[in-house]
């Protein structure tokens, strides 16, 4: 079967997530990066094309040039990956959809909720696949946690705590990645809440299968002069009555990428940590504790099929990302990939950000979370 051909938007020199997408997309040899508009600067787009070792003629200066040229090629791109900053997601994704290309986009889906609604309309009008790379849902043990909860291992979920501590924005925001993330014109009205809070929010719903129905948010811009939040405390209520606590921060000095989730039901509890992603801890109410290892024999079918190496041979971020691309490739072949986040997740995530920002600003207390 020929490989699917990917065009990338964003991912220019010095970018963080573009090269991660390239590696993840190509890991299973189902997809190949062949073209891109990697930067709004034509010379930088060319330089990125060289670093990705694609045909120099296929590193384009703008989106219109890319779509026009690729449409005319027999070996033109099959889909587009959007990995530019948040404010560019809607223009990039809607241009790709209008040109007839399925889209896989990084999160948050857009900069604002209004833009997410426009994106949902564009996806519906095009009738093409759209996927959102909530990376952490690709980890085998996150899939395992989800399967165990769905299978009743924890009983009725009553409480969850999801934490996403980072410390890299504790001081002045310098550097390419920090600059746009602290500028509301490019990040959207949410800072930390949009950058990592939305991952935590999505992970909690993904693992538990619950939907949040209301929240109480306290978002702070701790660093003087910062125009967006950098420290977030959110209480959540879920559709089965469960209570949740979501903590996301980028000013917690010493923390790196400490995403972790704990879920507690009437029969047991579980813990998964992104920095130690190859173990899942399960507690039962009678006092027993089970440690599940990635690659080990206790894994259910979904997690087992998402693991590439035997137990004890660590897998991580890149492999989790590759699992999302594997699902996306399946979608493009017309096969089901029910766990791949899509446009509904995009709308829920943007609604979460928008509601939390407004609720905190207005000191509104508990507010309903509606889509
Ligand atoms: N899923 C994850 O785990 C994860 C991790 C990091 C970043 N992200 C998301 O990925 C996106 C990019 O983040 P990043 O940290 O890589 O940013 P970055 O600043 O490192 O890179 C952004 C790239 O986009 C390019 N770009 C900007 N405007 C463009 C345009 N008009 N046309 C083409 N290219 C353009 C820039 O030149 C740059 O190369 C953000 O939306 C971010 O939230 C997701």
pLDDT in tens, 225-262: 999 999 999 999 999 999 999 999 999 999 999 999 99
Q: Same structural domain for residues 239 and 95?
A: no
Look at residue 109 and tell me if it is in a domain. Answer: yes
CATH assignment at residue 20: 3.40.50.720
List ligand 1's pocket residues with C-beta within 6 A: 9-12, 15-18, 37-40, 83-86, 88, 106-107, 133, 135, 176-177, 180, 195
Q: Same structural domain for residues 10 and 78?
A: yes
pTM of the model: 0.98
Average pLDDT over residues 92-104: 98
Confidence at residue 114, expressed as pLDDT on a 0 to 100 scale: 98
Task: Pick the residue whose CA is nearest to atom 27 on ligand 1.
Answer: 84
Looking at residue 59, the DSSP 8-state letter turns out to be: B
List the domain range (segments joined by +) for residue 181.
156-265+342-361
Token pair of 94 as six digits: 């809607």
| Cβ 260 vs Cβ 163: under 8 Å | yes
Look at residue 300 and tell me if it is in a domain. Answer: no
Q: Same structural domain for residues 357 and 242?
A: yes
**What does the alpha-carbon distance between residue 55 and residue 77 come to, in Å, rounded to a whole number?**
13
Residue burial 87-116, b: 16+ Cβ < 10 Å; e: rest: bbbbebbbbbbebebbbbbbbbbbbbbebb
Look at residue 296 and tell me if it is in a domain. Answer: no
Q: What is the whole-number distance in angstroms between the Cα of residue 133 and the centre of ligand 1?
A: 13
Distance of CA 138 to the CA centre of its chain: 10
CATH assignment at residue 185: 3.30.360.10
**What does the alpha-carbon distance between residue 370 and residue 33 come to, in Å, rounded to a whole number?**
38
| Cβ 127 vs Cβ 354: under 8 Å | no
Q: How far is CA 98 from CA 8, 59, 74, 245, 330, in A?
A: 16, 20, 19, 40, 22
With a pLDDT cut of 70, the percent of the chain lying above it is 100
Q: What is the whole-number distance in angstroms between the Cα of residue 31 and the centre of ligand 1?
A: 20
Look at residue 295 and tell me if it is in a domain. Answer: no
**Nearest-atom index, ligand 1, CA of 317:** 3
**How many domains would you assign to the chain?**
2
Confidence at residue 1, expressed as pLDDT on a 0 to 100 scale: 83
Q: Same structural domain for residues 21 and 122?
A: yes
Indicate the top mutation candidate among 7, 46, 85, 320 to test ligand 1's pocket, ranked by most ligand atoms within 8 A of CB: 85
**What does the alpha-carbon distance between residue 172 and residue 224 come to, in Å, rounded to a whole number?**
9
């Amino acid at each position: 079967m020929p490989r699917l051909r990917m065009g990338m938007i964003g991912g220019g020199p010095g970018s963080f997530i573009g090269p991660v997408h390239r590696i993840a997309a190509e890991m299973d040899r189902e997809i190949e990066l062949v073209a891109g508009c990697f930067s709004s600067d034509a010379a930088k787009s060319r330089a990125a094309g060289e670093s990705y070792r694609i045909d120099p003629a296929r590193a384009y200066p703008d989106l219109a040039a890319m779509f026009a040229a690729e449409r005319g090629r027999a070996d033109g791109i099959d889909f587009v990956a959007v990995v530019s900053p948040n404010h560019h997601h809607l223009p990039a994704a809607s241009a790709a959809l209008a040109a007839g290309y399925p889209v896989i986009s990084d999160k948050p889906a857009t900069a604002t909720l209004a833009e997410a609604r426009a994106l949902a309309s564009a996806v519906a009008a095009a009738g093409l696949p759209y996927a959102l790379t909530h990376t952490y849902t690709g980890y085998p043990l996150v899939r395992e946690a989800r399967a165990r909860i769905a299978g009743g291992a924890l009983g009725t979920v009553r409480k969850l705590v999801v934490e996403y501590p980072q410390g890299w924005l504790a001081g002045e925001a310098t550097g390419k990645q920090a600059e746009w993330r602290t500028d509301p014109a490019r990040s959207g009205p949410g800072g930390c809440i949009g950058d990592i809070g939305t991952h935590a929010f999505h992970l909690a719903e993904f693992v538990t299968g619950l939907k949040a129905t209301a929240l109480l948010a306290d978002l702070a811009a701790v660093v003087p002069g910062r125009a967006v939040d950098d420290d977030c405390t959110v209480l959540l209520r879920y559709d089965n009555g469960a209570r949740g606590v979501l903590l996301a921060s980028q000013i917690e000095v010493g923390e790196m990428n400490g995403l972790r989730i704990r879920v507690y039901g009437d029969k047991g509890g579980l813990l998964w940590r992104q920095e130690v992603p190859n173990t899942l801890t399960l507690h039962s109410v009678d006092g027993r504790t089970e440690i599940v290892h990635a690659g080990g024999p206790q894994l259910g079918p979904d997690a087992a099929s998402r693991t590439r190496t035997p137990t004890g041979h660590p897998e991580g971020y890149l492999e989790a990302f590759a699992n999302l691309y594997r699902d996306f490739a399946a979608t493009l072949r017309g096969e089901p990939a029910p766990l791949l986040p899509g446009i509904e997740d995009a709308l829920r995530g943007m609604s979460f950000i928008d509601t939390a920002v407004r609720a905190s600003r207005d000191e509104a207390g508990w507010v309903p979370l509606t889509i």
